[in-house]
Structures are given as C-alpha cells and as structure tokens.
Amino acid sequence: MKSSGRRNTAMSILKEFEEKCATPIGKLRQVADAMTAEMHAGLASEGGSSMFKMLNSHVDNLPSGDENGLFYALDLGGTNFRVLRVQLGGRDGCVVKQEFTEVSVPHELMTSATSSELFDFIAKELARFIDTEGEGFILPPGSQRELGFTFSFPVKQLSIASGNLIKWTKGFSIDDAVGKDVVVELTKALDRQGIDMRVAALVNDTIGTLAGGKYLNNDVAAAVILGTGTNAAYVERAHAIPKSGEMVINMEWGNFWSSHLPVTEYDQALDQDSLSVGEQIFEKIISGMYLGDIVRRVLCKMAEEAVFFGDIVPPKLKTPFTLRTPEMSAIHHDTSANLRVVERKLKDIFGITGTSLETRRVIVDVCNIVATRGARLSAAGILGILKKMGKDTVKEGDKQRTVIAVDGGLFEHYTEFRSCLESTLSELLGDEVARTVVIEHANDGSGTGAALLAACHSQYPKVEESLQELC
C-alpha cells in the first residue's frame, strides 16, 4: 500500500509537469505572434526593445558564391578557439581547400590575464598556423592576408570590422578588455607578432552560420543556433530598418519572454539559481545548457516527495547541472528492452542503483516532456521569424523557397529534439507552406562563415581570374 501511494505521488508530479509544459498548436501560434511583435518593437526602438536588441550586424554583403582568394578565420567563443583558412575559387560555392586547428585557452588567460596577454596568446597561435600554409593556398603577390573574427561575446558593434566588448561570459573575466574594441586589440597583437593581416569582419557565431549557409545555398534567409546556448539571425528588408539598407539582424532571441511561454516551478527555480535572474528565459527552456538540469530538478522533487529512489535522496541529485543534456539525450534515445542505458546512466551520474523498469520509463518520460517542449518552442520561434519576413504564406504562382540554416550540438546530436522541431514547424505552417520552408543543418558554419564574410568585405574586390581555374 505504501509503495502504491509513493507511485501515485510520483505519477501526480509527472502528470502536473506534463500539463504545465504543454505546447498545443494554439499556444505555439501565440508564442510566434509575440516573437514577431517583439521583433518589430526591437527594430523600431533605438538600441532595441527591452527584450530583443535586434542588433545591426553591419553585414550588408552576404556571400554570393563568386568569392575568390585565400581567407582566414578566428573563432573565439569559449574555452577553445579555432583558426582556419579557406581557399575560395568562385563559381557558386567552390571551396578549393580548407584547413583548421583548435587550441585550448589556458585558464589563467581567461581570468587573471590582461587583454594584451590573451590576444598575444591568440596571435602567437595564429602565427604558427600561418607558418604551415602550404600547397593549394594562393596569396596574390603584394596582397595582405585578411581574416574574419567570430567573437561570440556581447559586443556593441560599431561597423563591420569594429566592436566594443560589453561584458565577458562563458567563464572569461578580463576586466581591462571591457569597453575596448576587440578588433583593435587583436590587430595590435598581430602587429606585435609581425603578422601582416587585416581583420575584415567581426561577427558572432549566428551571423557566421547565416553567411556560411548563404554561400552554399542562396535561399538561406535566417540562421538559428541550438547548442549550449541559442540565438537567431535573419536578413531584414531595407524598409524595415530606420536609416539603413538590407541588413543581417542579430536578434539575441535567448532573452525572449512571453506570458504564453509554458514556464514551470522548475524553470523558475533554475532561473533564481542562475547568474542572470529574470533574463534569457527562452534560452533557459530550449537550449542545451539547461535541459538536463530541468530533468534533474523534476527527478529531485520525485525523490523528495515520492521517495522515488528509496528512503534517502541521492546527494548528487541535489547538485545543479549534474545531468548534462548529452546524457539526457542518451537516456531519451534508449531503445533497449529493459532500458539498460538509463540504468547505467543513473548509476554513473547519480550513484542510483536497483531501479525498476517502471521507474526508468518514468525518467524517459520526463526527458521526453522537457525535450518536446524545447523543440516545439524553437519551432514557434522560427515561425515568428518567418512571419516577420513574410515567408509564412505562399502567394499564388509564387515559387519561393526559404532555407533556415541551423547549427549547434543540441540540434545536431539530439535526434528526438531535431525531429520534433521539424515536424512541429511543418504542422504550424501547413502542408502548402511547409513545402517551401527547409531546415538545413549548417555543420560548423560559423568559422567558415567568418572567412566568407572577410571575403565579402575584402579590400581586394577583384582577385585574379586564374584562381577560378582551381575549381
């Protein structure tokens, strides 16, 4: 009887959570409409709305496929950075050759260093990479190398190749860099290393993904990052931007909030425990950084109120971010008859043993509820962008095709999340419009995109035609 009562309590917690996370089509349409309204407000307001910054990226020239020449990219967005080089040969998206290397940033350079020390370290690694430039990469005589800089931290962009750091995130804390132009800091470091290179474009990863997608497919009109964090960018029409032409807009959509979002007690608790209370609410319910921890919080309540894992609440279950989203994905995708992957993950992550098959099934259900909500809300966000661009309807005789380039580990590796997002977007659009909208995975688009944007904003608009023969 006692066991039955505990099970009923657990099932009650699960049912209430499922109801609170519900995303019926009507609610998703309300979320999409709210997203579109905030986009309009952000564009109309100087400095953006309180929710959406709608940042002008100063990218008004996207890849056409005709770009030629050798271009470099530096991608700094976390504890590792990548440097790459691309030889472009024109003719509708011909990448002749591409090479890259990845370097870990020493922890002391992230926190206790000066701006000069960090950028000197980066410049030295870039110099090493340039030294390995070999056969197949052609720099016309007398030309200066050019670089696209993907810098995925909050920046007040001043032009295509300048921007002041607003604040550090992702574990970086170098006080003397805040307020400085990161392109100037990088250029000074390049000069100190004797590297003759011009920074031609400063972008974030979402803009880079859009550019990389556009190079391969001219129908790409927007990009979405669904990884540890989340963001979106799209091409805005000229008349919508005060005092500007057609431009790529960086939405910073992770900060979206609407009363229509299905926010639960677990989301509220996660938000209160975060470093950005009341901010990035959309990101906290759809992105890879947080999905696993929402699951952990639900399981913790079951353990405390329904004695779900025995009389003692497993200590690790109380520790934030113990369950990472990749492990949540593995649990969700377990197709074995007895859910042995779930059993192993519970033991390895939380030290929980001796669970019944019924208990393991409930855990899979919790993962499914969290992932489904995140995927369906992501689809609603994409619908909001399509509505803003006027791509959510099809006019008679119109042969439009709209491609959304999506990158990020969550989208790439969490199959159930990805499938749910795609099917939900089709459901929202309806069969006729859904045939004109394509979600494409833009694998590792941001680094290549930065090199392409350097090409688009090169000081050498015409490169020798002989390079095209390489294709």
Residue 405 forms beta bridges with which residues?
Answer: 223, 440
Question: If we measure between CA atoms, which residue out of 185, 186, 80, 71 comes closest to residue 130?
Answer: 71
Distance of alpha carbon 354 from alpha carbon 243, whole angstroms: 65
57, 152, 287, 446: the catalytic one is 152
Contact 449, 362 (CB under 8 A): no
Measured between its terminal Cα atoms, the distance across the chain in Å is 74
Does the annotation count 444 as an active-site position?
no
Q: E strands along 55-107, which residues?
A: 55-56, 68-76, 80-89, 95-104
Distance of alpha carbon 288 from alpha carbon 371, whole angstroms: 10
Q: E strands along 373-470, which residues?
A: 402-407, 437-441
205, 271, 293, 334: the catalytic one is 205
Distance of alpha carbon 448 from alpha carbon 442, whole angstroms: 10
Cα angle 186, 110, 455 (rounded to 5 degrees) comes to 30
CB atoms within 10 A of CB 259: 8
Does the annotation count 219 as an active-site position?
no
What is the CB-side half-sphere exposure of residue 199 using CA atoms within 13 A?
25
Does the annotation count 423 as an active-site position?
no
Q: Which pair of structure tokens corresponds to residue 217?
A: 């497919």
Q: Give the DSSP per-residue string, 119-174.
A: HHHHHHHHHHHHHT--TT----TTPPEEEEEEE-S-EEEEETTEEEE----TT---
Question: If we measure between CA atoms, which residue out of 324, 321, 325, 312 comes closest to residue 352?
Answer: 312
57, 75, 82, 334: the catalytic one is 82
Residue 385 has phi, psi (to 5 degrees) of: -65, -45
Look at the alpha carbons of 286, 288, 290, 294 in this order and tell me if their dihedral is positive or negative: positive
Residues forming the active site: 82, 152, 205
